[in-house]
């Protein structure tokens, strides 16, 4: 037998030992199967190498070794390529569905606020008597009246121990605009609407992910080493779990993924927490409403509508901003935007884990990648020996 570089490494399959040892520690039966398949694949070439008495005979043996190793390697490359391709499809979908989710929430909230504005405009039109401006002016003056009463009583109580004006009939200082806004955009009203929007959007988000997962189920006919080498004497007999019901299996994987990942709690609880830290609509109304004096009917109505529009616009913009910046303990101290983005990543990772569990049992795709590296290293030894 001739001597040559990397002889020991080639004949003892040293490049494969670390990865095969690791696989055996996880799944002994599968690891043994892989090793026996590998040894069967190189049995003929190793015999030729061991019997070689001339450089040409050695070269023929090494060429055989190269061909058989490449055939074995292609089986594992098919596995990693297929899984990587399908995972990449999910990763490409991730930003698309995230943007779709956020856009739908924003669009639905815009539609809601626009509808509410129209309702309030209609109510202002119905209440648009010529003295509406005077009514608001009176209410603003009433604030001074209330302030005076409270101050007088405060001083009297401090000096005499009792209030001078016991029967306080304070003026209702809420303007027409403030009352209309509180009626149509109370925290409870907005919370209920946002809950419905989130629930519907999350359902579409989940359904879209389920469909994408089902459409990207790994092609088991491609990644099954057995089916690819059924005409070979040294086929790799790995019992991958596949059959005619791959789509059913895929939908089952989708359900399992969402069972693990989850999507927050009840959205009513979440939106309640969200709006619990929101300023009431009256704050936005106060920013918009100013003293206007006595106006004509048309001017008064238009001014009220302008105030409503400004208040609702501020409130709407504030809400949209909070979707991206307000961190909630109910969402793991993430904003809604951050939470949905992170859940997308978690869905992809959990889907890959489900594929691994369903198709490879205890093995993971990383085990196959390490085997691929071992094949590359072994082929490098063979190529060096042939030169």
Instruction: Give the sign of the dihedral formed by CA 81, CA 85, CA 86, CA 88.
Output: positive
Q: What is the pLDDT of residue 52?
A: 93
**Which is more confident, 73 or 167?**
73
Residue with tokens 């409403």: 289
Taking the C-alpha atoms of residue 234 and residue 42, their distance in angstroms, rounded to an integer, is: 9
Which one, of 120, 97, 108, lies nearest residue 186 by Cα?
120
287, 354 contact by CB (below 8 A) = no
Q: What is the pLDDT of residue 224?
A: 63
Give per-residue pLDDT as tens, 126-156: 865 534 444 444 444 444 434 443 544 454 4
132, 301 contact by CB (below 8 A) = yes
Helices (H), the chain: 7-11, 17-26, 28-51, 55-126, 132-160, 176-184, 187-215, 220-223, 225-228, 246-261, 267-276, 281-288, 297-325, 336-360, 365-386
Token duo for residue 295: 């106006």
Give per-residue pLDDT as tens, 350-378: 999 988 888 888 999 999 999 999 999 99
Q: Which range has highest mean pLDDT (95-109, 201-215, 222-236)?
A: 95-109
Query: What b/e string do you get for 53-75 counting C-beta neighbours within 10 Å, with b at 16 or more?
Result: eeeeebbebbebbbebbebbbeb
Taking the C-alpha atoms of residue 326 and residue 292, their distance in angstroms, rounded to an integer, is: 36
- What 3-state class would DSSP assign to 123? helix
Which one, of 365, 89, 109, 330, lies nearest residue 209 by Cα?
89
Token duo for residue 352: 């890959």
Taking the C-alpha atoms of residue 75 and residue 73, their distance in angstroms, rounded to an integer, is: 5
Which range, of 77-81, 118-122, 148-152, 324-328, averages the lowest pLDDT?
A: 148-152
Q: What is the pLDDT of residue 303?
A: 85
Which range, of 41-45, 46-50, 221-225, 306-310, averages the lowest pLDDT?
A: 221-225
Q: What is the pLDDT of residue 300?
A: 77
CA separation, residue 205 to residues 96, 272, 349, 371, 375 (Å):
11, 21, 17, 37, 41
Return the domain boundaries, the chain.
7-386
**Across residues 43-68, what is the average pLDDT?**
95
Count of Cβ atoms closer than 10 Å to residue 212 Cβ: 20
Model confidence at 278, pLDDT cuts 50, 70, 90, reads low
Which range, of 43-47, 176-180, 208-212, 379-383, averages the lowest pLDDT?
A: 176-180
**Which is more confident, 320 or 177?**
320
**pLDDT averaged over every residue in the chain:** 79
Instruction: Give the sign of the dihedral formed by CA 166, CA 169, CA 171, CA 176.
Output: positive
CA separation, residue 99 to residues 155, 232, 337 (Å):
59, 49, 9
Q: What is the pLDDT of residue 133?
A: 47
């Amino acid at each position: 037998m001739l001597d040559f570089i990397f002889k020991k490494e080639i004949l003892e399959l040293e490049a494969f030992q670390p990865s095969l040892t690791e696989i055996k520690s996880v799944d002994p039966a599968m690891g043994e199967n892989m090793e026996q398949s590998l040894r069967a694949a190189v049995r003929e070439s190793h015999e030729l190498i061991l019997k070689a008495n001339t450089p040409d005979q050695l070269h023929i043996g090494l060429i055989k070794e190269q061909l058989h190793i490449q055939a074995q390697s292609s089986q594992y490359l098919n596995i990693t390529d297929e899984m990587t391709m399908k995972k990449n499809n999910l990763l490409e979908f991730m930003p698309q569905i995230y943007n779709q989710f956020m856009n739908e929430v924003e669009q639905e909230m815009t539609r809601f606020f626009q509808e509410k504005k129209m309702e309030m405009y209609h109510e202002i039109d119905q209440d648009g008597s010529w003295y509406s401006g005077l009514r608001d002016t009176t209410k603003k003056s009433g604030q001074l009246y209330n302030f005076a009463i409270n101050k007088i009583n405060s001083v009297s109580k401090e000096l005499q121990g009792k209030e001078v004006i016991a029967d306080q009939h304070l003026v209702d200082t809420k303007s027409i605009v403030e009352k209309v806004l509180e009626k149509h955009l109370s925290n409870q009203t907005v919370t209920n609407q946002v809950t419905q929007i989130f629930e519907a959007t999350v359902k579409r988000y989940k359904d879209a992910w389920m469909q994408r997962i089902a459409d990207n189920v790994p092609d088991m006919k491609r990644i099954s080493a057995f089916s690819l080498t059924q005409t070979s004497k040294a086929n790799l007999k790995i019992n991958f779990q596949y059959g005619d019901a791959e789509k059913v299996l895929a939908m089952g994987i989708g359900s399992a993924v969402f069972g693990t990942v989850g999507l927050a709690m009840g959205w009513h609880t979440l939106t309640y927490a969200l709006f619990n830290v929101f300023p009431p609509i009256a704050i936005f109304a106060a920013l918009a409403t100013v003293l206007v004096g006595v106006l004509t009917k048309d001017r008064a109505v238009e001014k009220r509508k302008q105030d409503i529009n400004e208040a609702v616009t501020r409130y709407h913009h504030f809400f949209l901003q909070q979707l991206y910046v307000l961190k909630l303990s109910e969402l793991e101290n993430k904003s809604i935007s951050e939470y949905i983005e992170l859940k997308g990543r978690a869905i992809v990772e959990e889907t890959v884990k489900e594929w691994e569990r369903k198709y490879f049992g205890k093995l993971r795709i990383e085990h196959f990648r390490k085997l691929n590296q071992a094949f590359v290293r072994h082929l490098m030894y063979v190529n060096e020996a042939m030169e």
